[in-house]
A = this chain, B = another copy of it.
Amino acid sequence: MGAVRLMPGHVSWPLFPGRLDRGYSFVPTTFDVSEAERGVRSAVQLIDAALDEHSRPNEGCPAALSDAMRYSLLAPGKRLRPWMVLSAAEACGGNVEAAMPAACAVEMVHAYSLIHDDLPAMDDDDLRRGRPTCHKQFGEALAILAGDALLTLAFEVLARELKPEALAGRCCLELALAAGSAALVGGQADDLAAETGSGLTAGDVAAGDVAKLEAIHRRKTGAMFLVSLRLGGMCAAASSEQLTALDAYGKGIGLAFQIVDDLLDAGGDEKAVGKRLNKDADRGKLTFPRVLGIEASRRRAGELIAEALSALACFGSAAEGLEALARYVLERNR
């Protein structure tokens, strides 16, 4: 694979230029959709090719396990987290190709978390990315193992591919913290607690606990967004000032992403979104639209994206990818 330029024309975002008529668009879109689509398709293809390469079974991997891992990992997806890694590396002036293993690692962690979250004992979902969930396709036992193996593979890829070894060690630590009990896994445990009545539910709305809702979502979604950006930065030898800027940007788009997710869940098109909708409301879970109302949620998402964009000043034009990504987070329809 030769050197990769992420932004072949003036823009390659959003990944899936969709309907922009949802009413909560914040940044006006000015790009040529067909041109953007072309650029995006080739970028997603590059990521998918790397995912394919890094998930080829090692000798000794049972075929059924490999099939289940690759079924979920390579399912059509937005590849949002890999794009964050690559765009952050680009913003920091680094070699995008050198960050590709980190891009694959965060997508592996994402795929594992979806497989386990969809299990009957957890969210019990049948549909993911428009296809049967892993346990529907391969059975529950193999789905558990496929998730376990993808999580492990993420660390393998980081530790083997990133150079020098000290960078690999630092990136493994960042990923472990973001995926661990105080972040990604802890967020899912929060979700469970909400469903069993011991966590934050719609009953808490009266207390106006928006800050608590935001804290939960920073953990559930935000940590993996942040680490995607940080890994990209670290692969590009980012300065501490650049990492701080990436953190500020990531906090904004992470929370905005979750608000838009809640809005899509409340009123999206199931076919376009590719998973069961209204499930949060069905379970009485607290969501942003329920706490703030639809319009205020849209406004809040817009404010967060504005904050995220303002954090990018120090990168100059190298942050074009991150800017487009922020717009996509707000405007996506799935």
Q: Chain A interface (Cβ within 8 Å of chain B)?
A: 57-62, 64-66, 69, 112, 116, 119, 121-122, 139-142, 144-145, 147-149, 151-153, 155-156, 158-160, 162, 164-170, 172-173, 175-177, 179-183, 185-186, 188-190, 192-193, 198, 219
Q: A148-B116, A151-B148, A151-B151 are in contact. Are A189 and B156 (CB under 8 A)?
A: no
Once the chains are docked, how many angstroms separate the CA of A165 from the CA of B121?
Answer: 38
Chain B residue nearest in CB terms to A195: B141
Contact, CB under 8 Å: A116 / B142: no
Once the chains are docked, how many angstroms separate the CA of A258 from the CA of B252?
Answer: 52
Q: List 9 A-B contacts (CB under 8 A).
A: A60-B182, A61-B180, A119-B144, A145-B192, A148-B185, A152-B179, A160-B173, A164-B166, A168-B169
14 new A-B contacts at CB < 8 Å, known A121-B139, A152-B179, A158-B172:
A58-B180, A58-B181, A61-B181, A122-B141, A145-B188, A148-B151, A149-B180, A149-B185, A151-B152, A152-B185, A155-B155, A156-B180, A165-B170, A172-B172
Which of A61, A173, A190 is the most central at the interface, judged by chain B CB atoms within 10 Å of its CB? A173
At the interface, is chain A mostly helix, strand, loop or mixed?
helix
Contact, CB under 8 Å: B186 / A60: yes
Once the chains are docked, how many angstroms separate the CA of A323 from the CA of B177?
Answer: 37
Once the chains are docked, how many angstroms separate the CA of A176 from the CA of B149?
Answer: 9
Contact, CB under 8 Å: B170 / A159: yes
Which of A139, A141, A142, A168 is the most central at the interface, judged by chain B CB atoms within 10 Å of its CB? A141
Q: A60-B183, A183-B60 are in contact. Are A189 and B65 (CB under 8 A)?
A: yes
Residues of B within 8 A of A183 (CB): 60
Once the chains are docked, how many angstroms separate the CA of A160 from the CA of B148?
Answer: 21
Contact, CB under 8 Å: B62 / A190: yes
Residues of B within 8 A of A177 (CB): 58, 156
Contact, CB under 8 Å: B140 / A121: yes
Chain B residue nearest in CB terms to A57: B181
Residues of B within 8 A of A59 (CB): 182
Contact, CB under 8 Å: A176 / B148: no
Residues of B within 8 A of A190 (CB): 62
Residues of B within 8 A of A170 (CB): 159, 165
Q: A165-B165, A169-B172, A182-B61 are in contact. Are A121 and B149 (CB under 8 A)?
A: no
Residues of B within 8 A of A142 (CB): 189, 192
Residues of B within 8 A of A119 (CB): 141, 144
Contact, CB under 8 Å: A64 / B152: no
